[in-house]
Amino acid sequence: MQSKNKNREIVALIGASGNLGQALKRNLEEFDFEVLSIFRPESPNAEFFCIPYQTIITSGIKPNLIINASNFYSPSASVENINRMHDSIVGVAKSIANANAEWRVPVVSFSSYFQFAPLNSKPWSMYSQLKDEAFALLAESSTSLKQNHWDFMLYDTYGGIYRGKFLDKLSDIIRFSGAMDATLGEQEINLTHIEDIARNVASLLRMYFDRSLTSSTRRFQIKHPITYTLKSLACLAEVTLGRRLPINWGVIPYREKEVFKLWEVDLPIFEGFTHKYELNEYFASLKN
């Protein structure tokens, strides 16, 4: 099979059906990339797919870049969810390394803030431990192949697919009325809109190809200038909407591990990152 347009750079996008993956696909196409959407083998009508721990099938098309947006997290410790986390994180990273031994192209990946927990709290979770393993696999592979590897560390995101997080539930009571239970709301959270992440990453990649920039393995953090507690986030929504929200604070107990103060991460900030979406505008849009 041939590429649709020989003049466009081809991106193999793993995790194309996920929250970040969908946003990346839209923005990459806007920046004139051809996107091969890579799905799980069992996905219906999948033309291109990734077999965890094995390889990536692209029907003979060689990409110019691989983006790993594959991810899965579940608080449930069921065997099925644990296996899926392993497959979606470490299994996919291994497949990328195997496929790239032939393709020899740059790789983009995404890390989690929880990978950078203080030493006395590591590993923060099985999820963060698997993400560390996946990063190490991709970094080692890219170094051995002398290919660029960019990794972007994310705090938390909003927009896109409903994930049942605090902001999602807060959005529900704004749009559909009803009440919600919550902890005391002292946890800190730093939020960036998923479209802002995708747009800035796609723009950086376009600049890389257009200007033939050089790099290596580089890690950046994507962080909004404003950090909120959950309670101050709800307060912002109330101020924006001009009404009180029915939140039952303190009904839900804190989990064993919570972030009450964001720890410092020793990574450079993504220089030139622009935030088009702001939370007050997001809340205002929900009442319409």
Lowest mean pLDDT among 24-33, 34-43, 60-69, 252-261: 34-43
Asked whether the predicted pLDDT for residue 80 surpasses 80, the reply is yes
Average pLDDT, stretch 88-95? Answer: 98
Q: What is the pLDDT of residue 162?
A: 87
10-157+193-223 topology per CATH: Rossmann fold (3.40.50)
Q: 90 and 133 in contact (C-beta within 8 Å)?
A: yes
Q: 152 and 220 in contact (C-beta within 8 Å)?
A: yes
Structure tokens at 235: 């307060």
Q: How do 217-222 and 149-154 pair as beta strands? A: parallel
Helix, coil or strand: residue 205:
helix
Q: What is the pLDDT of residue 214?
A: 61
Asked whether the predicted pLDDT for residue 93 surpasses 80, the reply is yes
Helix, coil or strand: residue 70:
coil
Q: What is the pLDDT of residue 137?
A: 98
Three-state SS for 87-118 is HHHHHHHHHHHHHHHHHCCCEEEEEEHHHHCC
Asked whether the predicted pLDDT for residue 2 surpasses 60, the reply is no
Q: What is the pLDDT of residue 76?
A: 78
Asked whether the predicted pLDDT for residue 1 surpasses 50, the reply is no
The torsion angle over the Cα atoms of residues 162, 198, 25 and 89, rounded to 10 degrees, is -70
| H or E, element range at 277 | none
Confidence of residue 112 (pLDDT cuts 50, 70, 90): very high
Q: What is the pLDDT of residue 171?
A: 95
What 8-state DSSP symbol labels residue 180?
A: E
Q: Which amino acid belongs to residue 14?
A: I
Q: 96 and 140 in contact (C-beta within 8 Å)?
A: no
C-alpha distances in Å from residue 279, one per residue of 81, 84, 181: 32, 32, 21
Asked whether the predicted pLDDT for residue 7 surpasses 50, the reply is yes
Q: What is the pLDDT of residue 89?
A: 97
Q: 14 and 67 in contact (C-beta within 8 Å)?
A: yes
167: left (phi over 0), alpha (psi -120 to 50) or beta: alpha
The model carries a pTM of 0.94
Q: Where along the chain do its domains lie?
A: 10-157+193-223
Query: What is Dmax (Cα atoms) for the chain?
Result: 58
Helical spans, DSSP H, in 61-182:
79-86, 92-103, 126-145, 166-176
